[in-house]
Amino acid sequence: MGNQEIYKVIKSIADELCRDNKTFLRADLAFELKKYGVKSDSSEVESLVFGAYSFYKNDSNISIAFVTNNSRTTLVADYKLNNCLEQRRMDDALAIAENELQVTANSFDTLQHMVLQNLETAMVQGASKMTDVLTGTSGAKEVRSKASAIFDRYTKLVEAYRYAEDNVRDNISDFTSLRSDIEATYREYAMRLIDIYGDSIKMVSPELFDFNRIEWLDVDNMLKEIELEYNRIQEKCGFLISRISESFRTSLQESMNAYKSTANSNKTLGLAMAGLGMLNHYMVASEETNQLRGDLQVMQTSVKHDATRIKADMSRLLVIYKTLNDIVIPKANVYLRFASRLMDSDFKSMTDTLYGDANVRPLEEERQALLRQIKSIEVEMNDHLQNIDVYKSMVAELTTMLESKRPSYQKAKSRKPSKPFFLVNLLTFGNANRNYYRNYSEWDAACAPLIREYDNMLVDLKLDKEELLSHQEAVDMVKSEHSRLSGRLDAVSRDIRSRIVSSDNLKIKTLKYLRDVVAMLKLGREIAESKLDDKLLRTVEISDFKETTKMPADIEENLTEFTNVLADNLHVDRRMTNRLLDDVAELAGENNKKLQGTQPQQKAKTPAYTEEELDMVEAKAEKTLQQGIALFDSVARLKLQQLNGRIAAAAYDEQLREYTKTFKGYLDKIDDKSAYLRKIFTRINLADNEEERRQAMEMLSDLSGYSLSMEDFTDFMNGNKQIEL
């Protein structure tokens, strides 16, 4: 099937996907295109999608319907730069790379903005509603609001990191594409030199840095862990708010009943019983709310740890980005714009005459074709390696998730009701079936979603493992083909050299260009071999102090012992009961006088109470006192948790300062080198002639260029020196 027929299929799939607001991974599209001759998921799929996009006049549906296997960008956007390189539209390719570098810079601005927001103080401000204060739910609602605010800001921080990571990955992908063109230029001109000078010139294949070695924070998994803590707090808050509200209504009703039952004989007794009942309710609510505040502190410490790690790793990503933006890609940019032009001026025209012979021309044409194939297959190999990295990550993530969900999955399956034997159903007159369907409906609502999710993940894991294996097998095949093509290239080159008659006169003529060509080739190899410091490859590690928010066993034991001592030794007696009733009577009397507009008189005498009434008040007061001790215990525990949380936060901040200092050292070195390079770029761009530009280009090399002395010239011409490119 021709490409245009495949374009129609791609267009049809894109239109259908966009109607349903869906997208296809590249692997999904490759599967759909198998019947049309597309063998596997490879860069060929991207090429076909971009071809369809162009064929249908930059069709918008095609531009958004298909995404890379990691879902980070669309296939059209991912392929644009490679398409420009294939068509030798170098300026357009470099413009795309520079534009994506600017996008990355913007993403770091966004991430920096999120970093500056204080996650710990992300609290919702505003006065509590009077009804919440009266019922005792204001504390729980405050915890719920604070947890929501913290989680919202943390989620945005994760999204900002993920966006910055995606853009840095795009920059790396752009450089690897530019690097392939630099490699191709290096090979072509190195072979021309070898054709003239034979074994006196040695070509050294560039050692390409594997950018797949870079580690990235698993922020998605970090977010899931925080989300679990957040959901637990929200569930507890909702449950506690409901329970406190119900307790308030019950306590209020009981207090009113207590007041009414005793008010006719003694209002003071009624007020005391009602007040003690409501006081007990508020202390219970406060104690339980303190437990919630403790959970919130644990969540805050977890968020602080992860946020600190994200902030520190952001500095690492910034160093990687600045290395690419300020040094590596600008050097590649200048090299691709000018190196070939400088080497083409006289040198290429002189070497072209070597290939004019009828016996040599077909071999040279085959060699050029082989060079193009090798470049293409290296791009394909890099694509498979990147997808191997993608699928390894996806398989690892799914495996971890399945492991964590397996106990719940097995429990849910074990709880599935069994349909009763038909004889049992007959003997129970259909009740067994009715019970079964009712139980099954309840099970289906509670457990079936988890089972479906687990089963779907199993299917996804199987498919991802198959895709991983497919790319691994493809790499082996591509490597084998690369080896075959390289062998054929060497054979063709040897055949060319055996047929070329390179006279001493030609060698002498080209000798004056030798220094410049060698310098350009060594510079090209140096740029192609650009790499990152090993320390930048690993994600940062922040020591975990989450456990510090939990009370140490010895302190917990001492606090428990202290509160037990209080509970054992503090009790309400008759004296305290009478004092309580006196105070209530006095308070009630004062309030009554104020309402009547008269001055309060001396303290009223305590009315006579029966022993039964005093026992009732004493028991109620004792219960309230013991609840007060429990409340004290919860306050003490919460204060210790909050103190430990502040200690952990200070430790995280100290580690962040150390990482910031380390990465600032990298950035300072990059800035120094970037300032130097900008001066060279200015000289290159403003050069009046090729010679000035050539001299400036050689200054780009970290090896300070490459030059041959007169002694080297003599040794080289006499066959006593080999030049290594």
The predicted pLDDT at position 127 comes to 45
pLDDT digits (tens, 9 = 90+) for 509-555: 777 777 778 888 888 898 999 999 999 999 998 888 766 555 566 66
With tokens 């191709």, the residue in question is 184
Say yes or no to pLDDT of 508 above 60.
yes
The predicted pLDDT at position 417 comes to 74
Say yes or no to pLDDT of 412 above 50.
yes
Element housing 245 (H / E): helix 219-263
Say yes or no to pLDDT of 640 above 70.
yes
Show Cβ contacts of residue 370 under 8 Å, excluding neighbours closer than 6 positions: 485, 488, 489, 492
Q: What share of the chain is helix, strand, coil (3-state, %, to 5)?
A: 80, 0, 20
Q: DSSP per residue over 414-471, as a string?
A: HTPPPPPPHHHHHHTTTHHHHHHHHHHHHHHHHHHHHHHHHHHHHHHHHHHHHHHHHH
pLDDT band for position 480 (50/70/90)?
Answer: very high
Say yes or no to pLDDT of 571 above 70.
no
The predicted pLDDT at position 236 comes to 75
Q: At what angle do helices 504-528 and 690-698 cross, to 10 degrees?
A: 50
Say yes or no to pLDDT of 435 above 80.
no
pLDDT-wise least confident of 131-140, 355-364, 448-457? 131-140
Q: How far apart are alpha carbons 460 and 474 in whole angstroms? A: 21
pLDDT band for position 320 (50/70/90)?
Answer: very high
Q: How far apart are alpha carbons 280 and 445 in whole angstroms? A: 39
* Residue 119: DSSP 8-state: S
pTM for the whole thing?
Answer: 0.75
What average pLDDT score do residues 159-167 get?
85
Say yes or no to pLDDT of 5 above 90.
no
Contact 351, 496 (CB under 8 A): no
Q: How far apart are alpha carbons 104 and 121 in whole angstroms? A: 29
Say yes or no to pLDDT of 686 above 80.
yes
With tokens 């005459």, the residue in question is 353
Mean pLDDT of the chain, nearest integer: 77
Q: How far apart are alpha carbons 530 and 175 in whole angstroms? A: 10
The predicted pLDDT at position 124 comes to 44
More confident call, 411 vs 598: 411
Say yes or no to pLDDT of 246 above 70.
no
Show Cβ contacts of residue 381 under 8 Å, excluding neighbours closer than 6 positions: 475, 478, 479, 482
Q: How far apart are alpha carbons 221 and 18 in whole angstroms? A: 30
Share of residues in the chain with pLDDT > 70 (%): 71
What average pLDDT score do residues 670-697 get?
85
Contact 101, 329 (CB under 8 A): yes
**645, 681, 540: which is closest to 121 by C-alpha?**
645
**40, 22, 44, 16: which is closest to 30 by C-alpha?**
40
The predicted pLDDT at position 537 comes to 92
pLDDT band for position 595 (50/70/90)?
Answer: very low
The predicted pLDDT at position 166 comes to 85
